[in-house]
Structure formats: structure tokens, C-alpha cells
Amino acid sequence: MTKKCDIMDHKGGKSGATQRFNCTICGECCRGFNVIIDPWKEGGVVHLVKDNSVGVEVWPWEARELIMQSAAKDAGLIVMPSNLIMDTTRNLAVVLSYFIANEDCPLQVDKKCSIHAVKPNVCRYFPLVMGRPSIKISDRCPVSVKPKKTQSSKAMANSLKETYGNGFSALLMDVYSHDMVMDLVGTMELKGSVKWDLDPNPDHVLQKVRDQQWSDLLEFMIFIGFLTPEKVQALIADLVDPEGIEEKVDVRLLSL
């Protein structure tokens, strides 16, 4: 989804000045999604979307917001499960994240995001892309800026922060969200609430989705009594608040 005034302009003038990303609102990042369903697994998690597909992946709390916004605007947004983990106790697939299944984002209007104030993090930090295992710069953006690679992760993080401003903070929020979700997944099993299948069959999990035998992570935690509805809301509030995010994420783990 297209950004609007998220990132600073280019800094010109003196030699060696930082080049800052400047979104031109061309809308290319909101179109031409090529999502390919090709299930694979990694670390107990089944990924239903092919790793190099072009698409938009969102967290459960972001998917809820997108669905509400689409319904209010009658936009026809299609949101589908993307990453899941199997609970063998209940023979149920639990959705850790979702993807937009439309070819073009229907919430884009006249090349602009119609839900700019509440759009997902992945849209806020584009053309930065969360890769495995490193951060990538998307070639889909015609004005993306690729900072020089450095030996120091801290220096690289500072360069990305200067180049992408608020976009870099949004990316850190996704890193933080990933760590929090995986911590919750581990804690649920440690407390005996679930028994995860760490060697799941991707085709079996895909069939669960087709048969609608899956549960949203947020609803699942409430259903099994792991968290109360109030604690889930508090968790969501923490995961959408960028305040102090640089202190919450160890940037030494990031790399280009």
C-alpha cells in the first residue's frame, strides 16, 4: 500500500550527505501481487505461500483491521492464512499471519492508500523487505535507496534509519512482533496448553485451511485460556506502539 509522507526527502548538497528515501506515490507497491500457494515448512511453521512470491503479509491484529476497513468501504479485500503451526492436541492449525490474496490492493484509491493511518507495518516500511534471514531492498520500488553494506550491524541500522526514517521504525516493529509471537508459541507449549507438531505435513495443514479447521492466533489464545481478552488487547496495544522500539530490538541481529 502506498505511503504518504512517511519518509523524508533526499538530502542534497555536500558530498557524503545521506540520501533519504522519498516516496513518489506511484502506487507500484500496491499492485501486481503474484502470490503462489506452494506449502513448505521451517522450524515447525508451515508457510503456505511460496518464499519468493510478491505479496503483502500481515499479522492477525492487522488482518482484523484490514477486514473491518474493507467491509466499511465495500472494497472486496481477500485475506487468507499464510503461516500456521499445528496443535496436535486439538488437530487444529493456528494462524500466525495472513496475506492479501487480491492481485491489486483494493484499498488503494487513485494511487493512494485509503487507510493510511491504520495500514499494516509491511506497507509502512516498503521498499524495505523482511527477508530470510536478512533485510532486503525491493526492486519493485523505482526510487528505492540501497545504503552501502557495512561490517557493523549497528552502522547498517543507523544508515537504514537515516535513509528510511519512520519506515525503519515500522520494520523494527515487525521484528519485535515476530519475536513476541514466537515467544508466545513457545510459552503456550511450556505451560502445557498445547502440543505443537514441529514436523508438520504442509499439504495436511493446507487441507486444514481449505476445510476451515484453523483458528486465528488471538482467538486461539483466548479459547484455550492462555490469555484473557483484556490481556490480548494489551498485547495488541504493545505490538502496534513504536514508542521505544529501538530499545526493544537488538539491531545487531539485523543484516542487509
- Of 39 and 13, the one with more pLDDT: 39
Distance CA 113, CA 119 (A): 8
pLDDT in tens, 74-101: 999 999 999 999 999 999 999 999 999 9
Query: Which band of pLDDT confidence, cut at 50, 70 and 90, is reported for residue 151?
Result: low
Mean pLDDT along residues 201-228? 97
Distance of CA 64 to the CA centre of its chain: 13
Across the chain, mean pLDDT equals 88
- If you average pLDDT over each of 12-21, 34-43, 79-88, 244-253, which comes out highest? 79-88
User: Looking at the predicted structure, is the pLDDT value of residue 246 above 60?
Assistant: yes
What is the value of pTM for the model shown?
0.88
Select from 231, 196, 205, 247 the least CA-distant residue to 38.
Answer: 205
Strands (E), the chain: 37-42, 45-49, 57-58, 79-87, 92-100, 108-109, 112-113, 128-130, 135-137, 196-197, 214-216
Task: Please enumerate in sequence order all residues whose Cβ is within 8 A of that of 106, keeping only pairs 6 or more positions apart, or say none.
Answer: 70, 75, 76, 77
Helix, strand, coil percentages (3-state) for the chain, rounded to 5, are: 40, 20, 45
8 Å CB contact between 85 and 96: yes
DSSP H/E element including 239: helix 229-239
pLDDT in tens, 119-143: 999 999 999 988 766 788 988 899 9
| DSSP secondary structure code for residue 117 in this structure | G
Judge whether 195 and 88 are in contact, CB under 8 Å.
yes
